[in-house]
Chain A
Amino acid sequence: MEQLLQQVGAGLANGAIYASLALALVMIFVSTNHINFAQGEMAMFSAYIAWQFMEWGLSFWLALPLVMALSFTTGVVIERTILRPLHGAPVLSVVVVFIGLLTIFHALAGGIWTYTIKAVPSPFPEVAFPGSGYIGSHQLGMIGVTVIVLIALFTFFRFTPLGLAMRAAAQNPASARLAGISVDWMLALGWGLAAAVGAVAGCMVAPAVYLEPNMMASILLYGFAGALVGGISSPGGAVAGGFIVGVLENLIAYLGNVVERTTGLYIVGNGEKLTVALVIVIAVLTLKPSGLFGHVTVERV
């Protein structure tokens, strides 16, 4: 039982990271119909910058907002300079650009900071708290910070005029323009916010996995899985999907271990987590193509 709860705790912690990335992916997807394959590498790069700031003597809690602001700006600039000229370009060209961005961030990180893995200290103190047998303080902190960021973001989209304008621009760009809204800038802002959310995910996950240029590769896949499970068109669904994938992958590995211990039969273990996650995605998409919380989009012709 204790092990089970530990697995759920760890699953929620991972899920928080997947949820953040899923949300970052969905924020760009809803307004452009593009999946930013470079989202993970951008988050990785942000984590390196945070690490660099800390090496220079800044505290983590000062480095984090700085890195969020830097990532936000970088996201806006990338959209305005690299993606803007591609408006209306075939999907494949955009995909190539995303893969190019991914490669650039990967090579930059390796070039600047080398490919040797770096241990990053957790910003959360190791203290005993009720339930600390089930979940580590970094895991709890990860969940806490992510949830705060997600709530802040939802508040922004739900209750501020700018958030409303961004939603309108994503939903119906032509009508948003007719309402006087600069849709292009809204897209750029979306990119900035996605990059900032990714930065938080990167900074939170680095102490848990070691900092290295490949750190985000599988995490992005899980985030993508979360987004698809929850509904790629639904930000709330993507967040829920991220948490669901996080908990499920751990539970399934745990159940696999239990089965192996009791019957000696090996079905799934830690090595198959990613496979399991992808199987879940395919299963959900087969049964409900729009995801658990998504709505079917009707193509207007």
Chain B
Amino acid sequence: MSLLEVTALKAYYGQTQVLHGVSFALEAGGITTLLGANGAGKTTTLRSICGMVATEGAIRLDGEPIAGRATEEIVRLGVGHVPEGRGTFTHLTVDENLRVSAYTRRDKAAARRDRDMVFEYFPILKARIGQQAGTLSGGEQQMLAISRALMLRPRLLLLDEPSFGLAPLIVEEIFRIMRRVNSEAKVSLLLVEQNAALALDLADHAYVLETGRVVMSGSAADVKRDEGVRKSYLGY
């Protein structure tokens, strides 16, 4: 059974339909990337999974239907979401950001271990622990955003353009950590990226979205070799 299975997903902002029957599935333990031009509906797809927009169609997590449920419920079922724009609590400290993200967890001892784990992933956060999140650099805020999602110990982590606006070196570091999150912490990833080259290197599976429809899917290696993808998204 797939970890996440999305079938004929339609999504609406008010009267405007943005997704027109998107279907895809991802296997537990994998890294899947969702590619597409600006406005294709990538963010909306992630928001739909987390119950943040009005949708039709089926969304199953480990076979359990989650469409129509409240965002906080879906999150507690094990879906971490690092949203577009990072969504850190800018007026709270780094420490408070991490603590509040583990607020709903019962296993406090395990939560403390996860905290050590994110500090090991991103040592700079430990150095900034008492600092207001709003004063962090863009890269540090992205690290905090990922760490916040990890504090929920998700089975599935949705990442919305984690490389956006960051220097290449920082992006490289973040992608290196995401690979570790996947292999060591056994978190499946659904990665939305503008930077297709980077995403296809990290992912094992890829879907390409165009104006609210899936137009291509396959292994990351195959998608990377596709001439259309090369021209539109990879620029060669």
Contact = CB atoms under 8 A, between A and B. Distances in A.
Given A164-B99, A180-B75, A175 B83 contact: yes
A275 to B, nearest CB: 36
Interface in B74-112: 75-76, 80-81, 83, 87-92, 96, 99-101, 103-104
Contacts of A161: 99-100, 103
Contacts of B104: 179-181
A59 interface: no
B101 to A, nearest CB: 5
Contact of A174 (B70, B83, B149): B83
A182 interface: yes
Interface in B129-170: 148-149, 152
Contact of A164 (B52, B96, B152): B96
Contacts of A178: 50, 71, 75, 80-81, 83, 87, 149
Contact of B100 (A164, A174, A182): A164
A176 B71 CA distance: 10
A171 B88 CA distance: 10
A168 B75 contact: no
B51 to A, nearest CB: 9
B100 A172 contact: no
A165 B72 contact: no
Interface residues of B, number: 25
Contact of B89 (A172, A177, A180, A183): A172
B192 to A, nearest CB: 15
Contacts of B91: 167, 171
Interface string A167-201: 11001101111111111000000000000000000
A202 B91 CA distance: 32
Contacts of A168: 89, 92, 96, 100
A178 B80 CA distance: 7
30 contacts: A161-B99, A164-B100, A165-B103, A167-B91, A167-B92, A168-B89, A168-B92, A168-B96, A171-B89, A171-B90, A171-B91, A171-B92, A172-B90, A174-B52, A175-B87, A175-B89, A176-B100, A177-B71, A177-B72, A177-B75, A178-B50, A178-B83, A178-B87, A179-B101, A179-B104, A180-B72, A181-B72, A181-B100, A182-B70, A182-B72
